[in-house]
Structure 1
Amino acid sequence: MHRPLIFAAALAFAQPALAQAQAPAPAQAAVSPRSEALVRRLMKALDMEKQMDALLTATLPGFAARMNSGAQLSEAEKTLVLDTALETMREVVTPRLVEAVIPLYAEHYTEAELAAMVTFYESPVGASIMAKTPAMAPKVAAATQALMPAAMEEMLTRLCTKLDCAPSGIKPRRS
């Protein structure tokens, strides 16, 4: 296999995350044991692994395009890169995300609100909604992508109205 090409493809996938500055996390107040337990139950009820899988799946078309534009990988190598990305999300990112959001949820929601969310998402209706959510992610991503060219044109028109410029002279980049 072409290790440098595979590395380049993996780097292309990670590039948006790597481009963001790594700011130190703000200090969090101590989380009560009850709040922590409720957030953990909520994360389980929300089936974070499946949600992260859906997020990754929704981003795969863009990632695949970046892989094809850079490194010339075989189908087996592309599959290896994508499988490794999914494996890393499941085994590394999702558990760390759960740990990272516990203090955030505890800070922004009361124990009563957390308990209500847990009750809902552990209920049959809540579980049904969560089971359907991953299938929605790629559809929502596609709908959003379809709306972006017109939204960018509208944004440029509004910006030029405010800045007294001609929007026809400014065109958004199309991917």
Structure 2
Amino acid sequence: MKQLTLGLPFTTFIKLQNPLKPLRYFLSLLLIASALLVNFTVSADEDSRRYDVEQLLIEMKTESMIDTMYDQVTQMMLGMKQQLKVKESEQEMFETFMLKSTEIMRQELGWAQLKQPMIDLYAKHYSEKELADMIAFYRSESGRSMVEKMPLVMQESMIMTQALAQPMMIKMQSLSVEFNQELQAYREANTSEEVAD
């Protein structure tokens, strides 16, 4: 397979593995066993708390915020062309790769996948009173203002972080080149010794 080189050494490895499969299988068996031993029902208190969590996430406009975040990530990644010294002839290939990458993120970590785990998490850590107080805040003028301004705050935070990370990335890249050179020299030296033996 031909490797695409983008000015700077820019190689992306994406490994999709499922190390949690044995754990999920074990938890499934444990759940079945528990269901046979006890009357497995959700209490009214827990049901009420989960409803409150869902209302809180609605007031926070979480789904819209996640969509906005992915839009911003997509634009930020497409804007990396200059830093990565993408050639004009490579732009279409680069943009296709970046758009496919963010589409995978949307599919695997979209609202449909995140909603129930987030409800579980909030219901686990917050009491009904705490949830009620947060819902009241997000329904208030200040809370609504916070929700409306949050996408812009997130966007500017990402730009700020990207700018602050540039010197670090240059140093990391230099270190990576240095390590690759040292590793290559080490392997060549050891290969020569093995041949001599």
TM-score using structure 2 length: 0.53
How many pairs align? Answer: 141
SS at match of 1:51: helix
Deviation at 1:94, TM superposition (A): 0.6
Question: In 2, distance between residues paired with 1:52 and 1:35?
Answer: 23
Task: Tell whether 2:78 aligns with 1:60.
Answer: no
Instruction: Calculate percent identity across the aligned residue pairs.
Output: 24
Q: Which residue of 1 aligns with 2:139?
A: 122
Question: In 1, distance between residues paired with 2:106 and 2:63?
Answer: 8
Q: Which residue of 2 aligns with 1:143?
A: 160
Deviation at 1:72, TM superposition (A): 5.1
Task: Tell whether 2:124 aligns with 1:107.
Answer: yes
Question: In 1, distance between residues paired with 2:86 and 2:19?
Answer: 27
Answer whether contact 1:54 1:138 (CA < 8 A) is retained.
no
Choose from 44, 60, 64 the match for 1:46. 60
1:64-79 to structure 2, matched below 5 A, reads 64=78, 65=80, 74=92
Question: In 2, distance between residues paired with 1:112 and 1:74?
Answer: 52
1:28-47 to structure 2, matched below 5 A, reads 32-47=46-61
SS at match of 2:173: coil
SS at match of 2:172: coil
Question: In 2, distance between residues paired with 1:39 and 1:137?
Answer: 23
Task: Tell whether 2:173 aligns with 1:173.
Answer: yes
Letter aligned with residue 147 of structure 2 = M
Letter aligned with residue 173 of structure 2 = R
Runs of 4+ in 1 over 3 A off after TM superposition: 18-28, 68-75
TM-score using structure 1 length: 0.58
Question: In 2, distance between residues paired with 1:52 and 1:129?
Answer: 15
Answer whether contact 1:57 1:138 (CA < 8 A) is retained.
no
CA RMSD of aligned residues (A): 4.5
Question: In 2, distance between residues paired with 1:48 and 1:21?
Answer: 27
Going from structure 1 to structure 2, the CA distance change for 1:100 and 1:147 (only over 3 Å counts) comes to same
SS at match of 1:56: helix
Question: In 2, distance between residues paired with 1:100 and 1:40?
Answer: 11
- Between structure 1 and structure 2, the one with the greater Rg is 2
